[in-house]
Amino acid sequence: MEQPDLLQGTLDMLILKVLSRESTHGFGICQRIQQWSDDVLSVGEGSLYPALYRLQDQGWIESEWGQSENNRRAKFYKLTKAGRKQLDVENTDWEKMCLAIRRVMKSA
């Protein structure tokens, strides 16, 4: 299936959104995004991990080592307070953007 490219910055928002529901590891984030988008979106590891490290550097998410469902050592990510605020900001921006794009597309 042809994968639509994720808009620049939307990946960050999706990661934050996933982590706002539950703390999970990188693989978990990939799975959630794929599941929740009904297999439309799939995040490549090549962009997921740099994004995770970037968000962590910004202080929006934190990480700690823990046990995965099948007892494997894995790094779990969770949202920080700042991350929660950032998610709100990105959510609002995203709404505005969608509205704007829809208006443009309907105008013709």
Partner 1 sequence: MNPWRKVQRALSALFQKRTLDAEMDEEMRSHIEMRAQEKIAAGMNPEEARYAAVRQFGWLESTKDKCREQRGVRWIESLAQDLRYGTRMLWKKPGVTIVAALTFALGIGVNTAMFSLLSPLLFQRAPYPNSEGLVRVYRTSPQSQDSSHSLADFLDHREQNRVFEPLAAYHAEGANLGADGRAAQRVTAIHATDRFFEMVGMHPMLGCVFTAEESLPGRDRVAVLSHRFWTSHFAGDTNIVGRALRLDGEPFVVMGVMPATFEFPALWGEPEIWRPFVIKPEERGDRDNRYLNMIGRLKPGVSLTQAQAAMTSIAARLQQDHPHYAAGSGLRLVSLEDSLRPESARRSILFLLGLTSCVLLIACANLANLQLASLNGRSRELTVRAALGAPHQRLVRQLLTESLLISLLGGLLGLVFASFCDDILSKQLGTGFKAVLDVHVIGFALICCLLITIAFGTVPAWFAAHVNINETLKESVRGATGSRSQRRLQHLLIIAEIALTVMLLTGAGTTIRLLQRFARLDPGWRVDGLLTAEVALPRSKYPSPEQRNAFWAQLEERLITLPGMEGAAFSDDLPITSFWNTRPLRIEDRAAPSPGDAPLVSCPTVSSAYFQTLGIGLLQGRFFQSIDRLGGPLVAIINQTMARHFWREQSPIGKRISIGDPANPQWMEIVGVVGDVGFPADAGTDTRMQVYRPKAQDEIGTGALIIVRTSAASGPAANTLRRAVSEMDPDLPVYSVTTVRQSIDGRMRSNYLIFGLLGAFGMLGLILAAVGVFGVTSYAAVRRTREIGIRMAFGAQGRAILTLFLYQGVRPGLIGAALGLGGSIAVMRILDSLIPSGSPMRDPATLAGLPISGWAVALTAAFVLVVVTLLASYLPARRAAKVDPIRALSYE
Binding interface with partner 1 (CB under 8 A)? 25-27, 44-46, 49-50, 52-54, 56-59, 68, 70, 72-75, 82
The residue among 20 and 80 lying less far from partner 1, judged by its C-beta, is: 80
Given the complex with partner 1, which of 47 and 92 has the nearer CB atom? 47
CB of 63 to partner 1, least distance (A): 9
**b/e burial code for range 78-92 (CB count within 10 A of at least 16 → b):** ebbeebeebbeebee
**CA 60 remoteness from chain centre:** 12
Q: Token pair of 10, please? A: 């939307």
Which of the 8 DSSP states describes residue 7?
Answer: P
- Find the shortest distance in angstroms from Cβ 86 to partner 1: 11
By beta-carbon proximity to partner 1, the closer residue of 50 and 99 is 50
Rounded distance between C-alpha atoms, residue 86 and residue 25, angstroms: 20
Q: In whole angstroms, how close is the CB of 92 to partner 1 at the nearest point?
A: 22
- Please state the closest distance from residue 53 (CB atom) to partner 1, in A: 4
For the chain, the first-to-last Cα distance in angstroms comes to 30
